[in-house]
Each structure stands twice: as structure tokens, then as C-alpha cells.
Amino acid sequence: MHPSIHYYVLSLGGKSNKLFEGFRDTLIEIENGGFPLDPTTSLSYPAEPIQREKLLREFYKRVDQFFAIFYDQDPLGLVLVGEKMNQSIFRSVSAHNKDIFGGLEGNYEATAAHDLGQIVWPIVREALSGNRERAFRELDEAVSAQKVASGLDEVWRMSNSARGSTLLVEEDYRMKGSIVKTDQSWMILEQVDIREVFDDVVDRVIEKVLETGGTVIFLDSGSLAANQRIALILRD
């Protein structure tokens, strides 16, 4: 599973196990399909560590089965949050190991969704991003070879031709708008019919590049001013 700006977060805790859907640094808690799950309602607390681990394994099998309900409908990558032991046991019983692309150790049960999103996003961003210095070198080479698309309109057009190799985008670049196909090209408009609007056109472009096998690297604000904040290095 390729990391994406759209992903799941599974918080594994001693009192509550929560599932979130993530969009960049924003998390929305899923409160249906069995979530959140309270382990204290199904686990006893025996003194023997072996018995305790056995019960946790059984519980996390249930958590994984509930997660599968959402994953089967929308297969996205997963970030685990929780104590190291909880994550380890979950991984040992999960059918979704190939989809886990990051982990955050610690107890975040009481952390608000907004705050947890701010903490988790750097993990997702890092999973998406490669070496930033190398990215700038490749961008300079692509500019010299005239193999780069700059600006949202041109980047979207080239990403649809599956020519995109590496997308560079400023981390805080967002734009609400719509993507419209004309007779000859694509246009991105900020003022559109509300029924056709995307909350963030930049996110849609990022997802498109990932769908066609490209990679995405997030860069500091202002670092791509010469490229109108977004650039796509093209394949040969």
C-alpha cells in the first residue's frame, strides 16, 4: 500500500481503541462499525503475563476484523498509534500488515483528534517524502532538460497523461476549486458551481500522481516560488 495524504489512524489503548480517517493533518474519528472499542469490557487482567498477552491477541484480532470493514470499502494505508507492546501484538495478528506504513509510540488515548492529526501528519509526510536535497537537484536537472511542469493547471494536465515521476509541492499549499475539462485542455477554477467543488484541488492532484505510480515530496513554504508552489518532474 503506497502512503497517501488520505489514510487511516488506529489508536490502540488500554481503555479505548479508536479509528480515524486522515486527510493531511486533519483526523476525523470514525464512531460506527464497532469503533471505538473498549478492551476492558472483554479482557480480564490476570497476573500471568502470558495469559494477558493471549487475551490481548484475541482482542486485537477483533479490532483488526472491525478495521477490515472500513478497509474493504476504502483501502487506504494505516498508521498505528499506541504503546510499543500493543502495536507489536496487533501486528502479530493483523491481516493488514502490508498496509501499515508508520507508527507512533506512546499513550495518546486522551489526545484530541485535532492535536493527534498534527502529531501524526509528519509521519505520513515523511513516508511520502524522499530526500529533499536530492529532489531539488532533480528539479534543477529537469528544468535544464525541459522536463518539468509548473503551476497547478500544467501539473494536473501532465499528471493525467501518466507522465509524472516526482511531484514537489509546498507543504501548506491548498486551494478550494474545481477541475474542468475543456475541448483542448484542463482548467482549474477557484469560482465554480458548489456541486463540483473540491475542498482542496492540490490534494486531488497529489492523489492523481500517486495513483499513476509517481512519488510526492513536501517542501517548505516559499521553496517553489519559481514554480508557482508546485512542480512535476516528468518521465522520459
Give the pLDDT confidence of 76-127 residue by residue, as tens digits. 999 999 999 999 999 999 999 999 999 999 999 999 999 999 999 999 988 8
Helical (H) or strand (E) element with 151: none
Neighbours of 134 (CB within 10 A): 11
Specify the pLDDT at position 184: 47
Cell numbers at 183, concatenated: 475541448
Q: Are 79 and 101 in contact (CB under 8 A)?
A: yes
Distance CA 124, CA 170 (A): 15
184 sits in which H/E element: none
Q: What angle do CA 175, 176, 180 make, to 5 degrees?
A: 105
Residue 19: other Cβ atoms inside 10 A? 26
* pLDDT score recorded for residue 194: 46
Domains of the chain, each with CATH number or no CATH: 6-128 (3.30.420.60), 132-234 (3.30.1330.30)
- Give the contacts of 64 (CB within 8 A, at least 6 positions apart): 90, 93, 94, 95, 96
pTM: 0.75
Q: Are 156 and 205 contacting, i.e. CB atoms less than 8 angstroms apart?
A: yes
Q: What is the full per-residue pLDDT of the chain (236 aa) written as tens digits?
A: 566 788 999 999 988 999 999 988 999 999 999 999 988 765 555 557 677 788 889 999 999 999 999 999 999 999 999 999 999 999 999 999 999 999 999 999 999 999 999 999 999 988 877 667 888 899 999 999 999 999 988 998 888 776 668 999 998 898 877 666 655 445 555 555 544 555 688 888 888 888 888 888 888 899 999 999 999 999 87
SS3 65: helix
- Residues with Cβ within 8 Å of 131's Cβ and at least 6 positions away in sequence, in order, are none
